[in-house]
Amino acid sequence: MNAQLGKTTAPVGYFTEDNSIDAVNARMGQDVSPRLATVMACLVKHLHLFAREIELTQEEWDFGIDFLTRTGQICTQERQEFILLSDTLGLSMLVDAINNRRPEGATENTVFGPFHVNGAPVRKMGDEISFDGKGESCLFIGRVLDLDGKPVEGARIDVWSDNADGYYDVQQPDIQPKWNNRGVFITSADGHYSFVGIKPVSYPIPDDGPVGQMLGKLGRHPYRPAHMHYMVRADGFQKLVTHTFVGGDPYLTSDTVFGVKKTLVAPFERVEGGSTTWRSDFDFVLARPNETR
Ligand code: BEZ
Ligand code: FE
């Protein structure tokens, strides 16, 4: 059996630099859940290979421990620095990609982010979701379809975006009206949706903590290109968590959390003489649970 996967039966002896992976993984108990054993043995393998490859110094690892400690210490109910770390290292998008392999034509997933709030009000199609009087109004309009192009009835579309200053309502509870730039819309038989929000703006992720320091040291900016968040759920379909991105945004190719996909860049067109300044058309195509790639 492969000792690196935790199944060794032969004793490996005392820990040495050369046998370190086997030395740790050989300690795995007999009754450990098989998945946990696989995950932990692989994690140990890659951590050790990482330390060996870069010849990790004591000083560097002390810094690493301190960084992780500070990352934990800044976490609160409202602030999840470990998710930001995962996002900015591209790990959130990789896990999302592994878990949402959809056939061509189905709308792609992207990162959920920390600013969704459960319980946003259900609104009527066409309703306004922006209440702080800031920003340029935008009509968001389209349909929810299945992969055959048929409308999906009863799809629950949960939407949220930042305001024109680049902040979500939950980041400014004393400044923005409650549920500003949020709402839930439910499709009827024609699958259509529409609502009026603002044209979103690009904004920096919270960068006053360890993750922001890391980005600074790595010569990276903390910005996300302007986007509208969507979570679309309908009975008999995979849950879709996605954004539409504002075409032409300068950060599209350098999103600090790697969330941009070509198919999610949406048109935002200026409207002459309409009731909103902008209009963005986008259809969401849902895949059924068995429709995978
Ligand atoms: C967001 O788009 O809301 C977001 C995603 C990842 C990290 C921070 C913010
Ligand atoms: Fe966002």
What pLDDT does residue 237 have? 98
In a domain, 248, yes or no: yes
**C-beta 257 within 6 A of ligand 1:** yes
Q: Assess whether 124 and 46 both reside in one domain.
A: no
For residue 42, the enclosing domain spans 1-56
Mean pLDDT, the chain, integer: 95
pLDDT tens for 237-252 read 999 999 999 999 999 9
Enter the tokens of residue 239.
Answer: 């849950």
283 C-alpha vs ligand 1 centroid, how far in Å? 22
In a domain, 77, yes or no: no
pLDDT tens for 18-63 read 999 999 999 999 999 999 999 999 999 999 999 999 999 999 999 9
What pLDDT does residue 217 have? 98
The confidence band for 12, taking pLDDT boundaries of 50, 70 and 90, is: confident
pLDDT tens for 252-264 read 999 999 999 999 9
Q: Assess whether 281 and 170 both reside in one domain.
A: yes
Q: Closest Cα to atom 4, ligand 1: which residue?
A: 113
The confidence band for 1, taking pLDDT boundaries of 50, 70 and 90, is: very low
The residue out of 34, 56, 78 marking a domain boundary is 56
Q: Can you tell me the distance from the alpha carbon of 267 to that of 52, in angstroms, rounded to the nearest whole number?
A: 48
Spatial CA neighbour of 116 closest among 143, 92, 80: 80
In a domain, 62, yes or no: no
Q: Which of 65-69, 90-94, 141-145, 270-274 has the lowest mean pLDDT?
A: 270-274
Question: Which of the two residues, 62 and 2, has the higher pLDDT score?
Answer: 62
What percent of the chain is predicted at pLDDT more than 70? 97
What percent of the chain is predicted at pLDDT more than 90? 93
**C-beta 111 within 6 A of ligand 1:** yes
What pLDDT does residue 5 have? 54
Enter the tokens of residue 168.
Answer: 């979500």
Q: Assess whether 105 and 51 both reside in one domain.
A: no
In a domain, 61, yes or no: no
In a domain, 84, yes or no: no
pLDDT tens for 197-211 read 999 999 999 999 999
160 C-alpha vs ligand 2 centroid, how far in Å? 8
In a domain, 216, yes or no: no
141 C-alpha vs ligand 1 centroid, how far in Å? 23
Residue 4 has pLDDT above 90, yes or no: no
What pLDDT does residue 11 have? 76
227 C-alpha vs ligand 2 centroid, how far in Å? 6
The confidence band for 3, taking pLDDT boundaries of 50, 70 and 90, is: very low
Q: Assess whether 150 and 278 both reside in one domain.
A: yes
In a domain, 51, yes or no: yes
**C-beta 112 within 6 A of ligand 1:** no
254 C-alpha vs ligand 1 centroid, how far in Å? 14
**C-beta 205 within 6 A of ligand 1:** yes
Number of domains in the chain: 2
What pLDDT does residue 7 have? 52
Mean pLDDT value across residues 162-173: 96
What pLDDT does residue 51 have? 98
- Nearest atom of ligand 1 to the alpha carbon of 112: 5
Q: Assess whether 153 and 47 both reside in one domain.
A: no
Question: Which ligand number lies closest to the CA of residue 201?
Answer: 2
Q: Assess whether 131 and 20 both reside in one domain.
A: no
What backbone phi and psi angles, to 5 degrees, belong to 242?
-155, 180
Question: Which ligand number lies closest to the CA of residue 256?
Answer: 1
Mean pLDDT value across residues 73-96: 95
Q: Assess whether 171 and 256 both reside in one domain.
A: yes
Q: Assess whether 43 and 96 both reside in one domain.
A: no
**C-beta 113 within 6 A of ligand 1:** yes
Residue 113 has pLDDT above 50, yes or no: yes
Instruction: Report the residue count for the chain.
Output: 293
**C-beta 228 within 6 A of ligand 1:** no
The residue out of 36, 56, 76 marking a domain boundary is 56
Mean pLDDT value across residues 220-249: 97
**C-beta 87 within 6 A of ligand 1:** yes
Residue 287 has pLDDT above 50, yes or no: yes
Tell me the pTM.
0.92
Q: What angle do CA 68, 74, 78 make, to 5 degrees?
A: 130
